[in-house]
Amino acid sequence: MEDNIMLSHELLNVINTRNNKDLGVLKLDMSKAYNKVNWLFLLKVLRMYGFPQSWIQLIHQCISMVSYKVLVNGKTSSVFRPSCGLRQGDLLSPYLFLFCMDILSRMLQMAENIKQVQGIKVSRRSPSISHLFFADDAMIFFKASPSYATNMINILERFGEASGQKLNFLKSSVNFSPKISSHMKEELKSILAMTQVDNIGKHLGVPIDLPRKKSGSFQPLINKVVNKVLSLANLRISQPAKLILIQSILLSLSAHVMRCFKLPLAIANKIHSVITRI
């Protein structure tokens, strides 16, 4: 996870460099990703990977022998069964979903090999990177041109038709390098049908598109810390026990961020001041 965060941060630095004028990044949002997985597609993917038929049948039973009831006006409905999707919270679901997303990864890699799309290089000798996936969190990096943008949308549509996945264009976003021309920007936005943003924001829960003044990007972390501390401040336990509990919670909140970035001194001081008030 940390590798994805750091790599996406480095790629955004390349995009935001003033010398670059033809680069872009897509932050994709799959609409109800787990709920729309096509079972036939998933089983075909498992066969393609060489899993034995007996094991595939067991997986089919696990995902298909599910039944639901819902409350309608206080009354329980009759039992009904889904025809697609993976259960949220099932320990198998994240792994099965990865097999589906790997097909999209292979489609993008193949498209890059035949020059239908072009990724981004961090340096001259580094490999080209066209996408970063982690479960249903997806980012695509590309050289900004109408032909590449059209090819990417076609790939996403073909993948959606096969897998059942549907791109949420309202929640997906695109960002371009600063020096891209206004005409090119408008043409690409028209092709991609996505909202342009000035800052990609978070990836896997961590701010990756950091401006020069980084303090503002970490303000949500301070808000989380303050809310947690305030909720624990009124607990009827001894002060030492309360401090130990708060410190353990603060560590869990900030460790994910600190594994990737060094917190600005101003942010660290604010967190420290919140703790010392208790």
In this predicted structure, the answer to whether residue 164 has a pLDDT above a threshold of 80 is: yes
Of 17-21, 77-81, 120-124, 130-134, highest mean pLDDT: 130-134
Q: For 45-101, how does the pLDDT look when each residue is reduced to its tens digit (9 = 90+)?
A: 999 999 999 999 999 999 988 888 888 888 888 888 888 888 888 888 989 999 999
In this predicted structure, the answer to whether residue 108 has a pLDDT above a threshold of 90 is: yes
Phi, psi of 259 (to 5 degrees): -70, -20
Closest CA to 270 of 239, 205, 224, 231: 224
In the chain, pLDDT over 70 holds for what percent of residues? 94
DSSP state of 129: B
Residue with tokens 């670059």: 20
Determine contact, residues 68/79, Cβ cutoff 8 Å: yes
Mean predicted confidence (pLDDT) in 32-49: 92
Residue with tokens 């595939």: 56
Q: For 196-228, how does the pLDDT look when each residue is reduced to its tens digit (9 = 90+)?
A: 888 888 777 777 777 666 666 777 777 777 777
As a whole number of angstroms, the distance between CA 206 and CA 5 comes to 7
* pTM, full prediction: 0.81
As a whole number of angstroms, the distance between CA 58 and CA 56 comes to 5
Edge to edge, the sheet with strand 195-196 lists: 131-134, 137-143, 23-29, 173-176, 195-196
Domain locations along the chain: 2-35+93-207, 214-276
* Lowest mean pLDDT, pick from 39-43, 75-79, 151-155: 75-79
As a whole number of angstroms, the distance between CA 104 and CA 98 comes to 10
Query: How many CA atoms lie less than 13 Å away from 275 in the CB half-sphere?
Result: 17
Mean predicted confidence (pLDDT) in 37-49: 95
Domain over 2-35+93-207 is classified CATH 3.30.70: yes
In this predicted structure, the answer to whether residue 157 has a pLDDT above a threshold of 80 is: yes
In this predicted structure, the answer to whether residue 26 has a pLDDT above a threshold of 70 is: yes
Q: What is the pLDDT of residue 50?
A: 94
Closest CA to 267 of 232, 224, 233: 224
